[in-house]
């Protein structure tokens, strides 16, 4: 169901939602932005009025969640069907009287696929066959678990004549070099490589005759595992 939001207006208030889950799929269940309170999220599967499966971040049941600003768990759905989501509080907010009572929550597949389109990576002046180097730091841009599905770099030429044979390659410290072929935008062989790296990008004119200004933009599809906001990790 993706990321949703809501507001608890009273310590005894409960919010209920439903979500359809598929048996065998691993899910990430998360509530965040709750400050130092014991607001929590629960997930249950009910059949014929009886709770068959139950998952909770209630601190009264699991001390690890006590007063945590983000509470989360991973679970694999045992059956396909409708699950009930409960959001509530197990205390009276006395620890944080200024708590706004707003929250964000997520119940969805733990593995997601995302795309980056047109991310600027800088430019270089191309003189014949001289190879130019640029740095691209993606540590603060994508999640730690981001692994590449495919990646390409588009060429633009704001000044000078366009070159149809720009040779491009990428390499992170201690890693192998990945390159395009025949002036194509795709950088080959990168499937499964961790995207969250500091990269060196190299460009040159494959024909060795162009004098032009080049600007590159990165496009990438990547997989990642849903996780808490950095710094909110728990020892589950």
* Percentage of the residues of the chain whose pLDDT score is greater than 90: 76
Separation in Å, CA 57 to CA 32, 144, 152, 174: 12, 24, 41, 40
185-211 mean pLDDT = 94
Closest CA to 197 of 149, 135, 154: 135
Burial class (CB within 10 angstroms; exposed 0-12, middle 13-18, buried 19+) of 169: middle
pLDDT at 210: 83
Question: Is this prediction's pTM over 0.75?
Answer: yes
More confident residue, 119 or 91: 119
- Report residue 167's pLDDT band, with 50, 70 and 90 as the boundaries: very high
CATH topology of domain 3-109: Jelly Rolls (2.60.120)
How many residues comprise the chain? 236
CATH number of 113-225: 2.60.120
Distances (CA, A) of 46 to 49, 57, 89, 137, 199: 6, 18, 21, 47, 49
User: Which tens digit of pLDDT belongs to each residue from 121-137?
Assistant: 999 999 888 999 999 99
61-81 CB burial, b ≥16 within 10 A, e <16: eeeebeebbbbbbebebeeee
Q: How confident is the model at residue 46 (pLDDT cuts 50, 70, 90)?
A: very high
- CA 206/CA 131 separation, integer angstroms: 10
Q: Where in the chain is CATH 2.60.120.380?
A: 3-109
Q: What is the pLDDT confidence band of residue 160, given thresholds at 50, 70 and 90?
A: confident
Kindly indicate the confidence band of residue 93, based on its pLDDT and cuts at 50, 70 and 90: low
- What are the tens digits of pLDDT across the range 203-232? 999 988 888 999 999 999 999 999 999 899
């Amino acid at each position: 169901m993706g990321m949703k939001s809501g507001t608890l207006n009273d310590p005894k208030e409960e919010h209920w939602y439903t979500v359809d889950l598929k048996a065998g799929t691993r899910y990430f269940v998360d509530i965040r932005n709750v400050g130092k309170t014991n607001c929590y999220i629960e997930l249950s599967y009910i059949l014929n009025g009886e709770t068959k499966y139950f998952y909770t971040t209630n601190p009264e049941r699991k001390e690890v969640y006590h007063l945590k600003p983000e509470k989360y768990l991973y679970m694999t759905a045992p059956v396909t069907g409708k699950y009930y989501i409960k959001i509530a509080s197990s205390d009276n907010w006395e620890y944080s009287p200024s708590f706004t009572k707003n929250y964000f929550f997520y119940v969805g597949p733990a593995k997601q696929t995302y795309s980056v389109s047109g991310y600027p990576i800088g430019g270089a002046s191309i003189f014949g066959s001289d190879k130019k180097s640029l740095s691209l730091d993606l540590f603060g841009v994508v999640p730690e678990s981001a692994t590449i599905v495919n990646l390409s770099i588009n060429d633009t030429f704001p000044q000078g004549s366009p070159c149809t044979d720009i040779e491009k390659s990428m390499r992170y410290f201690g890693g192998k070099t990945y390159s395009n072929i025949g002036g194509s935008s795709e950088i080959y062989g990168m499937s499964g490589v961790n995207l969250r790296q500091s990269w060196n990008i190299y460009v040159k004119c494959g024909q060795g005759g162009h004098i032009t200004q080049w600007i590159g933009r990165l496009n990438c599809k990547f997989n990642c595992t849903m996780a808490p906001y950095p710094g909110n990790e728990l020892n589950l």
